[in-house]
Amino acid sequence: MKVSFHDAAQGEVLEAGRYYREHGGAEVAQRLAQEFERAYGRLLEFPEIGAIWRKATRRLPINRFPYSLVYYLRPDEIRVIAFAHQSRRPGYWRGRR
């Protein structure tokens, strides 16, 4: 199964990495990248791993960081629509497909 990212979701991943590099240092930013990769790998292996959240979307929390991959499943694709901070602007991504 393939994974695709909404353009805004890709930007959110990069923005979070920049934030942690600037405010926490390179080591913290690297840990975020590792946890993102770990979550991405789990998602590829087990597409239904995320809890159903807000109708048809699913949410997969990122370990040790306050972010989640928000996605939905299509028959042949996992569509990531947000790399959402868990306590900022809830549901801002709802119009994304």
Per the domain annotation, does 90 fall within a domain? no
Per the domain annotation, does 42 fall within a domain? yes
Q: How many structural domains are present in the chain?
A: 1
Of the candidates 19, 13, 58, 56, the residue with the CA atom closest to the CA atom of residue 37: 13
pLDDT at 54: 74
Per the domain annotation, does 20 fall within a domain? yes
CA distance 32 to 10: 14
CATH number at residue 26: 3.30.2310.20
- CA torsion 40→50→1→94, rounded to 10°? -90
pLDDT at 31: 98
Residue 62 token pair: 């990122």
pLDDT at 44: 95
Residue 8 token pair: 């805004």
Write down the pTM of the prediction: 0.91
Full residue range of the structural domain in which residue 7 is found: 2-85
How far the first Cα of the chain sits from its last, in Å, is 18
Tens of pLDDT along the chain (97 residues) come to 899 999 999 999 999 999 999 999 999 999 999 999 999 999 999 999 999 987 789 999 999 999 999 999 999 999 999 999 988 887 777 878 8
CA distance 78 to 94: 16
Per the domain annotation, does 71 fall within a domain? yes
